[in-house]
Structure 1
Amino acid sequence: MAMRRRLCALSFAAAALFLMLATRQRHFLSLTPPPPPEVTPTRQHKAEAPPPHKGEQPVTSNPRTRPPPKQAPPSSTQEKEVKRSCGCDSCVSDVAGSDWFRQRFNPEQQPILRQNQTLEDGALSWWLSLQRSGDGRTVQEVMSELFAVIAPPPPPQKPHPSLCRTCAVVGNSGNLRESGHGELIDSHHNVIRMNHAVMAGFEQDVGNKSTHHFLYPESAMDLRPREHLVLLPFKLRDLEWVRSALTTGDVTRTYMRVKERVSADRDRVLVVSPEFFGYIHQNWTEKHGRYPSTGFTAVIYALHTCDQVSLFGFGADSEGNWHHYWEKNKFAGAFRKTGVHNADYETEILQQLHREGKVQLHL
């Protein structure tokens, strides 16, 4: 009887152990993902999309074959952006930013007189009336003789994105004394001076470089090698004088005694066109004064031939005196009272050019 009870107990324990093991096996199998069902390859037919409406681009799911999106029209800001005409960070010839400048600046005006150039009648008549020569010769005769001596000017150089032509125009005002501008002036590609400008002894203030020198017979001086003589003619006799001063020396007087000969390179002589001089009188000084001064003419010349322009030595000194930096002029201010030039008006134009960002005015 005892043996039977033991066998029953063992059977019951074995059955319980079997049930426990079976339960754990089902739990373990439930944690293992079933293998993917085996798929028999079949030929699938893609549903065809309806044709796009007229004017629409078909839509595809593959981004590599998707047609590029339509470009949006440029914004008003993009339309206003204009590429600079030169290689500087700002260019004189770019007139878009200044209505005041655009109304005065004419890029078609050529500063330099050219052989066989036909001068506009109005500008020629005005120029011939400034200081009459009275010898009865024609402009064509005098120009023909002149260009038999000097070389024809180089073709005009227009602004280019790869170039940045910097120019310093150096006046003769007493405000240059103790300015210390010499090194800054000489750092420009071209340095334009005028009349009796003196550099020796004033290099620290005015520099020692000169590429262009504006003068006329009554203010003539010898120039350095490779320096351009830029003649500003006020009368027909001035054209005769420069031909003479480079050759025979036969012209010794205009309305006063003048330098008979000048040392200058014939291949580097430039003559300001009377038509360009009249354009300055009309557009820039607006007929204030009888005609523009040499310094002001040099500034407008620079606006037409340079990409960036810096001005030194213009206006009165700190005490309000108008005199040359190399002298003490007891008649300081007389320049403003002659009536030939309107110094106050020219100074205002220079200041406005500075405000418009077309020149850098160093005082």
Structure 2
Amino acid sequence: MVLRRKMCVVVVATAILFLMIASQTISPSLFLSLSLSLATPAGQAPPASRTTPQPLGPSGHPGPSLPHRHDNIGEGARGEGPEGVGLEGEGSPHAEGSQPGGEASAGRTNDKDQSEASSKTVVTPEPPRPSGAQGRSDRMCGCTESCVSELDGSAWFKQRFDPHQQPLLHNSNKMDASALKWWLGLQRSDGQTLEEVMSKLFRVISPPSVDIRPRPSRCHSCAVVGNSGNLRQSGHGSLINTHNSVIRMNKAITAGFEQDVGNRTTHHFLYPESAVDIASGVSLVLLPFKLRDLEWLASALSTGEIKMTYMRVKDRVQADKDKVLVVNPEFFKYTHDNWTEHHGRYPSTGLLAIVFALHICDQVSVFGYGADSEGNWHHYWEENRYAGAFRKTGVHSADFETEVIHRLAKEGKIHLYPSVV
């Protein structure tokens, strides 16, 4: 009789539970536990459930398994590329879905769900790392001080500096017609066209492959070293040598003057009438003031057939052909228009070298420009015989170019040695 009563209770309870499930007022797991407890003889524990509960969603009901987000992207997991920024990828310590702190099983349902979650892993890109002393991420270069090519902060500089200028001549250059006409008119040229001369030139030298664009990952410092007598007893040699690039010009010499002018050279600016042999590893940089200068360069590095321009010149020059660079003639016109503002017939070698450095360097230091302490204009390696010769040529405007250089220093775009008070 007792057994029959128990069976009736089980049947009634089961019927009630089915009705409750149909009305969604109880979960199936609760039904299972209740039915097992009813069906289990007294004194025995119910068998353990073989289902692992899912994590609850915002509403309290079981939610879907979420893919893991890799927020812990550290230096050890970063692939260092040219820009120093990378993302951790598959095969890294966190790529298998494990989390730091021993919480690898959190949010896991079963093996199938876990494998699906791993295949959908979301990798969050690392935000740009700050650069520069102010921690700005929009810096043009990696210098702790300002970068030359940054135009904010100086309306005067912004009005003159054109970041789109191409300082170097390429075999594919298409020169502006007005700039070409002005340049060809500087000095007499023969009947050949620029295209014909360039075709011959770039059969002797290679087109430039240097990357002159500023990059946030580097700070490229340049020393532009003039030939003024004010370098004598200056003691700037060690400081000049610390720069990434050291630019010299014309007949500059270093032997015997290392303490004042340094002994490193990376770029040597010249033209046919000022040509000297260039040491191995140094870039010869031609300043072509006329079409004949381009012809001379091709000849001086090959046949040696050109021995005259408007005067006798070196017919051969020693230099690494793969490091030869040519300043774009259009760059002359840009410097004449924007920087010397048509003072003088055309810019001097010294000013062209500074403007060139403004376009290829992140920081520029200028040494050896202007008169010496006694107001004389001469080269540091020679005794002064004609102190005012440069001022009297009429080809360049020394006074105006000096004003431009001092203004660049005042605007913080160059460091000038000796400093100007």
Which of 162, 167, 172 in structure 2 is aligned with 1:106?
162
1:261-317 per-position Cα deviation (integer Å, ceiling 9, x unaligned): 010000011111110110000000000000000010000000000000000000000
1:35 — aligned with what? none
Cα distance between partner residues in 1 of 2:326 and 2:357: 14
Q: CA deviation at 1:157?
A: 2.7
- Compute the displacement of 1:333 (Å): 1.1
**Match status 1:252 vs 2:307:** yes
1:132 corresponds in structure 2 to 188
AA partner of residue 211 (structure 1): T
The aligned counterpart of 1:94 is 150
Matched residue type, 1:153: P
Ranked by relative contact order (alpha carbons within 8 Å, sequence separation 6 or more), the top structure is 1
- 1:122 corresponds to which letter in structure 2? S
Q: Does residue 199 in structure 1 map to residue 254 in structure 2?
A: yes
Deviation at 1:92, TM superposition (A): 0.1
Identity %: 66
Matched-pair contact (CA < 8 Å) for 2:212–2:361: no
- Give 2:285's match in structure 1, choosing from 230, 235, 247: 230
What's the TM-score, normalizing by structure 1? 0.77
Tell me the equivalent position of 1:293: 348
Match status 1:161 vs 2:206: no
SS of match in other structure, 2:174: coil
- Report 1:24-103 matches (<5 A): 83-88=138-143, 89-103=145-159
SS of corresponding position for 1:214: strand
Looking at structure 2, the residues matched to 316 and 83 of structure 1 have their Cα atoms a distance apart, in angstroms, of 40
Give the structure 2 partner of residue 123 of structure 1. Answer: 179
Unaligned runs of 5+ in 2: 1-135
Partners of 2:362 and 2:170 lie apart in 1 by: 23
Listed as ranges, the gaps of 5+ residues in structure 1 are 1-80
- Aligned equivalents of 1:187, 1:296: Cα separation in 2: 22
Give 2:336's aligned residue: 281
What is the rounded CA distance, in whole Å, between the counterparts of 2:213 and 2:316 in structure 1? Answer: 34
Question: What is the CA-CA distance between 1:159 and the residue it aligns to?
Answer: 1.1
State the Cα RMSD in Å: 0.9
- 1:114 and 1:164, CA in 2 relative to 1: closer, same or farther beyond 3 A? same
Cα distance in 2 for partners of 1:340, 1:163 equals 38
- 1:329 deviates by 2.5
Question: How far apart, in 2, do the equivalents of 1:355 and 1:157 lie?
Answer: 25
1:197 counterpart letter in structure 2: A
Determine if contact 2:268/2:285 at 8 Å carries over to the other structure: yes
Specify the code of the residue in structure 1 equivalent to 2:336: H
Shift of 1:332: 1.0
1:7 paired residue number: none
1:94, distance to aligned residue in structure 2 (A): 0.6
Change (3 A) 1:208 1:155: closer
Residues 159-193 of structure 1: per-residue CA shift (max 9 Å, x gap): 11110000000000000000000000000000000
Q: Which residue type is aligned with residue 97 of structure 1?
A: G
Q: Which deviations, in whole Å up to 9, do the C-alpha atoms of 1:71-94 show, x marking residues without a partner? A: xxxxxxxxxx78321110210001
8 Å CA contact retained: 2:212, 2:359? no
Q: Which of 306, 311, 316 is the aligned partner of 1:261?
A: 316
**What is the CA distance between 1:201 and its match in structure 2?**
0.3
Q: Distance in 2 between matches of 1:306 and 1:157?
A: 8
Local SS of the residue matching 2:175: coil
Aligned residues: 282
1:243–1:184: structure 2 CA closer, same or farther, 3 Å change rule? same
Question: Which amino acid letter does the alignment assign opposite residue 310 of structure 2?
Answer: Y
CA distance in 2, matches of 1:297, 1:173: 16
SS at match of 1:299: helix
- Give per-residue Cα distances to partners, 1:119-160, cap 9 Å, x unaligned: 101110111011112x21111000000000001101543111
Whole-Å Cα distance in 2 between the matches of residues 152 and 235 of structure 1? 20
Q: Larger radius of gyration, structure 1 or 2?
A: 1
SS at match of 1:192: strand
**Counterpart in 1 of 2:48?**
none
Q: Distance in 1 between matches of 2:172 and 2:313?
A: 28
Provide the secondary structure at the position in 2 that maps to 1:353.
helix
- Counterpart of 1:91 in structure 2: which amino acid? C
Q: Tell me the residue number matched to 1:150.
A: 205
241, 264, 271: which is aligned to 2:326? 271
